[in-house]
């Protein structure tokens, strides 16, 4: 099929946006590469500590007036942003595909879910309301108001370059805070596009800032005394060793979302035909690069005929996934983001084989890539059998298009396997039995639970939950919990003498 037009043209440099001005970074300028062609499509600066400091100062200066702007007025900026995002829906989706490699359906899905967060934040006059109780004692009333805190840092990952910062930013600014967003330097153009639209929406200078970069920017955010809190989505080691302790040392609020190694449980009574597309999306969608992707499939029961038939169908479907450039509308799986990530995935497959797993489908080399593209970042879907619960390919995050299959005798055993995982982000079960579904929901430790859903992605009005190795903090991004995170509860007690 013909390719949809690429929106990023002419190797642009992604600039920082500080205090309402677009400024080129003074730091090292690095290439941004399209993982499909492995050609440079743009450049981005690795900003310095002075630049993050400058952005925080601008945000701090803007906070005074912004918090005094009535919530209903703040929302109108978000309504305008929402309209602009709709008008630019296709372009922002194609930017994601071009810089990240995901398929166009996946990018449009990401765009939609990002916009939904802006829409939910538009309800801030209601969401931000406090509580009041008359006569807590005779003649004394007590009420709670929610106040913004100041400047928040938002650190985004590479795998959802458009959507994930929108789990936080709309709620932060709607509640009267100001933000500094740091996108992943691998994929800086999606956030650059959103920031252009935020500028067009008319946010006052300093309310919405963006600084590109890497560790220096993250370190600068963590150390900065004027940043009141940070939301982070990325790897578990960075979450545990850098973000959470860094926030603790400086007394910042923190939402830290890390990695995952999700387990999908298949009961023999599941609707097989309806389950398989869900598994394809779960394990191989976004080339497996998402914290809600399935990594291990646990098939319950000792019915060999069911097991063999189910695995054969899954394998057949996975073998025929169309691989190529996501701007070709027929493509079902794009490349992984870069060579290092591909090598890491290949390494995990080797580890699995050394530990006793066997290849049912070998995707270490993509069978066929649609279009004339180098194999550099492409992988096929890999399925491994004879996997056991103690293997590293079950217990560690692979973040690639792989499926390891375990057999469990009972649902109890399957739940045990889920619960002994170091990660608890999005485990799921496929079954037509309500009792089994309820037991799974009740007993399985997981921030998000799927019942016949392979990607357990909460809608914008629910928190994006997560537990144990997948999350550190108390409140979560999205919805009412985000509103709580971005506001301080102030309690007033009145007595008129």
Partner 1 sequence: MNLRTASETLSFIRELEEKAAKFYEDLAERFPANENDFLAFAKENRKYNKQIQMAYQSVISDAIEGCYAFDLESENYTFETDLPDSASLADAATKALAIEEKILDCYTLGAEQSGSLLADVPRNFKMVLKKRDKRLERLKALA
Which residue ranges make up the site for partner 1 (CB under 8 A)? 1, 89, 103-106, 108-110, 112-113, 160, 163, 274, 277-278, 280-281, 285-286, 290, 292, 317, 322, 329-333, 453-457
C-alpha span between 235 and 244 (Å, rounded): 12
Do 463 and 476 meet the contact criterion of CB atoms below 8 Å apart? Answer: yes
C-alpha span between 86 and 200 (Å, rounded): 13
Report, in Å, the least distance between residue 87 CB and partner 1.
Answer: 12
Closest CB to partner 1 among residues 328, 481 = 328
Pairing of strands 471-473, 262-266: unpaired
Closest CB to partner 1 among residues 113, 476 = 113
Report, in Å, the least distance between residue 285 CB and partner 1.
Answer: 7
C-alpha span between 464 and 485 (Å, rounded): 13
C-alpha span between 336 and 367 (Å, rounded): 15
Is 418 known to be catalytic? no
C-alpha span between 96 and 107 (Å, rounded): 6
φ, ψ of residue 294 in degrees (nearest 5): -70, 145
Of 291, 377, 418, 444, which is the active-site residue?
291
Report, in Å, the least distance between residue 268 CB and partner 1.
Answer: 20
Report, in Å, the least distance between residue 401 CB and partner 1.
Answer: 12
Report, in Å, the least distance between residue 270 CB and partner 1.
Answer: 13
Residue 101's closest CA among 363, 470, 400? Answer: 400
Closest CB to partner 1 among residues 136, 274 = 274
Closest CB to partner 1 among residues 163, 210 = 163
Residue 352 structure tokens: 């699995």
- N-term to C-term CA, the chain: 78
Closest CB to partner 1 among residues 160, 423 = 160
Report, in Å, the least distance between residue 193 CB and partner 1.
Answer: 17
Closest CB to partner 1 among residues 172, 457 = 457
Which residues are identified as catalytic? 291
């Amino acid at each position: 099929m013909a390719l949809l037009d690429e929106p990023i043209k002419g190797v642009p440099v992604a600039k920082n946006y500080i205090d309402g001005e677009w400024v080129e970074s003074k730091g090292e300028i690095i290439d941004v590469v399209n993982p499909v062609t492995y050609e440079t499509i743009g450049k981005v600066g690795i900003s310095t500590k002075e630049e993050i400091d400058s952005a925080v100062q601008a945000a701090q200066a803007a906070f005074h007036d912004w918090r005094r702007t009535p919530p209903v007025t703040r929302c109108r900026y978000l309504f305008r942003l929402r309209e602009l995002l709709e008008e630019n829906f296709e372009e922002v989706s194609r930017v994601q595909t071009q810089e990240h490699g995901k398929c166009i359906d996946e990018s449009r899905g990401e765009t939609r879910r990002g916009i939904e967060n802006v829409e939910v934040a538009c309800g801030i006059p209601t969401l931000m309301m406090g509580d009041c109780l008359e006569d807590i004692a005779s003649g004394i009333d007590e009420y709670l108001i929610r106040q913004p805190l100041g400047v928040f840092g938002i650190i985004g990952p590479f795998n959802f370059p458009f959507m994930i910062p929108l789990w936080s930013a709309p709620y932060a600014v709607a509640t009267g805070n100001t933000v500094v967003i740091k996108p992943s330097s691998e994929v800086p153009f999606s956030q650059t596009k959103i920031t252009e639209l935020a500028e067009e929406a008319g946010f006052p200078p300093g309310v919405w800032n963006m600084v590109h970069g890497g560790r220096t920017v993250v370190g600068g955010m963590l150390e900065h005394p004027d940043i009141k809190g940070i939301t982070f989505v990325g790897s578990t080691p960075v979450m545990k060793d850098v973000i959470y302790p860094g926030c603790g040392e400086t007394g910042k609020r923190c939402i830290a979302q890390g990695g995952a190694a999700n387990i999908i449980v298949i009961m023999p009574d599941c609707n097989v035909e309806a389950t398989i597309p869900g598994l394809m999306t779960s394990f191989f969608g976004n080339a497996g690069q998402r914290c809600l992707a399935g990594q291990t499939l646990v098939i319950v029961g000792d019915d060999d005929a069911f097991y063999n038939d189910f695995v054969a169908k899954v394998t057949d479907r996975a073998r025929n996934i169309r691989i190529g450039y996501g701007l070709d509308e027929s493509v079902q799986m794009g490349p992984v983001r870069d060579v290092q990530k591909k090598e890491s995935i290949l390494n995990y497959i080797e580890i699995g084989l050394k530990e006793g797993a066997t290849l049912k489908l070998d995707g270490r080399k993509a069978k066929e890539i649609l279009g004339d593209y180098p194999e550099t970042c492409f992988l096929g879907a890999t399925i491994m059998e004879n996997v056991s619960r103690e293997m590293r390919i079950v217990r560690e995050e692979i973040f690639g298009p792989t499926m390891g299959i375990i057999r469990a005798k009972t649902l109890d055993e399957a739940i045990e396997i889920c619960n002994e995982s170091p990660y608890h982000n999005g485990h799921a079960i496929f079954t037509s039995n309500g009792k089994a579904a309820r037991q799974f929901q009740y007993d399985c430790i997981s921030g998000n639970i799927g019942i016949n859903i392979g990607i357990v992605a909460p809608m914008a009005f629910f928190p994006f939950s997560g537990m144990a190795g997948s999350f550190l903090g108390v409140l979560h991004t999205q919805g009412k919990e985000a509103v709580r995170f971005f506001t301080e509860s102030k309690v007033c007690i009145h007595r008129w003498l």
